[in-house]
Every structure is written in C-alpha cells, then in structure tokens.
Amino acid sequence: MAWRGLAQRGWGCGQAWAPPAGGRSCEELTAALAQPRLLGRRFNFFIQQKCGFRKAPRKVEPRRSDTGTSSEAYKRSALIPPVEETAFYPSSFPIRTLVKPLFFTVGFTGCAFGSAAIWQYESLKSRVQSYFDGIKADWLDSIRPQKEGDFRKEINKWWNKLSDGQQTVTDIIAANVFVFCLWRVPSLQRTMIRYFTSSPASKVLCSPMLLSTFSHFSLFHMAANMYVLWSFSSIIVNILGQEQFMAVYLSAGVISNFVSYVCKVATGRYGPSLGASGAIMTVLAAVCTKIPEGRLAIIFLPMFTFKAGNALKAIIAMDTAGMILGWKFFGHAAHLEGALFGIRYITYGHELIWKNREPLVKIWHEMRTNGPKKGGGSK
C-alpha cells in the first residue's frame, strides 16, 4: 500500500519529485520496479505515468459554425451584426434541420393566403358601412366649427393623399424602423441575434424566417430596401390588391429564407442572414414581369434609364453568379429565390391560388352568418 500511495502521488523527474542526494536516480528506480511482476497490471499502470509524462487534459473547443472559416467571416459584411461563432450550433445531421423549416414554410404560406382572402371579405363589408359613416361625418363637419392648426387633421390629410400601396407599405416600413432601433439596445443583442437573424445552425429555426424579414442591422441596407419598396408599392398594390400583396410579401420572405437555409446546408456556410431583400426582390420581379417595357432608373443616376425586363435579367444573372461563386456580401440565394418567386406568382400563382379562394370565403361567410347555434339540444 505504501508503494501504491507513492505511485499515485506521482514520481516525476521534473519539479514534481527530485531524488535525494546520494539516492537512486529515476532510471534506477524504473529498473528496480520493473522486476517484480506479481503486482499485476494495476501497479504497472501507475508506473507508466511517472516522470512527468501524464497527458494534459484535452481542451474542448467550440464547434465551428462555418466550415473552413473563422468567426471573422461574419464580420466581412457591414450588413449583418458581428455575431460570435459560438452563437450557432450546426447539427451533426444538417439535412434534418430543414424538416421543421419546410413544414413551417408550407403552413405559413397557406395561412397567409387564407387570412388574406378572409381579410378581403371583411374589408368589402366594412367599406359599405364606412361609406355611410363617411357621409354622416362629412355632414357633421360641415355644421361643426372648424379648428385651425389641428395636428390630427393635418395628419389625416397627408394620409388621405397617399395611394393605397403607400398606405399599405407604411406599416411595413414602420415595423422595419422599430426593429432597427432595437438593434441599437445593447441588452437586447442576444435576443435580436436569436430571433431576428436566420440560420440553419441556430437553436430557433422557424420564427426567424419571418422576423428576419423585418430586421436590418445597417442603416444603408434598410434605407435602400425601404426606398425600393416605397417606389414600387403603388404599382404592385394596383396589380394584386392590398390583401393579396401582404400575403405575397410575407410568404416571399419566408420562402426566400428557406431556400437560403438549403443553400447554407449544402455549402456548409452557416452565417446569419437578415433583411427584407428576398421579399423586396419578389415585388421588383413581379412588377418587371407584369410591365417589362417599363422604364427604371437608379436612385443616384436618374438620367440613365433602362427597361424593367432587362433589369430583371441582370439581377437574376448577378445573383446566380454570386451564389455559384460563393460571394458573401449579399444573400444571393435568398435574392434569387425572391425574384423567381415573384415571376412564378405573377405568371401562374394568381390564377392558381388567388382566383380559387371562393370555397374558403364561402365557409367563412357561412360561419359569420349562422354563427354558433344558441339554445337547447336535439328535439
């Protein structure tokens, strides 16, 4: 037992143990202890760990979330927040991470168009009632003394001057500005990264596919997207209507994020994404497909104009090249899918989806008309 205790304390030849003057050296002790073999393997195990050759404990390193890159890869673009590498945890089976986002994409898209159909039904009913209410309000305003400098009245005048499309996207722009301000709150950084950036390596997969559509970290990124949305809002709402436009816009954001998930899993690049660019590309592509001969111009170079159809072809070519060559400044996969979704919907989706909404509207109308039955049971 005494020999075993000495062996457990370690017989290193370095700082851990030094032989006394005139005593045996470390090599002599090894030769002496190696002779008796009756002690068994248990004693030999401690002999093998002498002389300071114990293995140092292996450090557990965080798993990289982007194959072949470091955490600096997320800081290359000023459009995304400086996310630490440990914020994302890639799965050992990345294909499985796409199952929940796939079901979420299909379910959310169906709910978006179904809700839009019901919204349109309710809007038509409310417009009839508001028409008579407006006549009554105008009569009361004519006999009521007018207040000068009424701030609320000025706001109403400005709002009424806006087109239906501009009124629709005003709420979207306000939501984007609000989320942009939240990014500037230091205590909310972890929450914003978790729920307002989308990545297939994140612990939260589904809700960021929608919330990241309203999220911008860069002021220039948000300003550019909102300017394009405002510019095309009147045209796209005139083509689709307010309700159908909202369904297409929200669905485009989720679908483009899902395709971005697929591309990231295929390439092993799990960097976070955010922004409304996928949905904006759907709006742009839908307008360019519907009006290919329309003239477009760049904001800083208004003197140069070009056809909308040619602009759409150039955008698709650029995003395709960026996705193939692995450019990281923009989310080219989301941009490309947004453009293709806009082309598909304006060409086929309106006929296949929106014009077949009548069964759902009839069911909703019967529910609203009949309502829950009151009274006793069966007679």
CA distances to 123, 341, 349 from 355, in Å: 17, 18, 9
- What tokens were used for 125? 């009913």
CA 282 vs CA 49, 163, 179, 222, 270: distances in Å? 66, 20, 22, 16, 24
Catalytic residue among 216, 221, 332, 335: 335
Residue 361 backbone class (left: φ over 0; alpha: ψ -120 to 50; beta: rest): alpha
Q: Is 335 a catalytic residue?
A: yes
- Residue pair 108/352 in contact (Cβ under 8 Å)? The answer is no
Name the active-site residue from 212, 256, 277, 332.
277
Q: Residue type for 303, please?
A: M
Active site residues: 277, 335
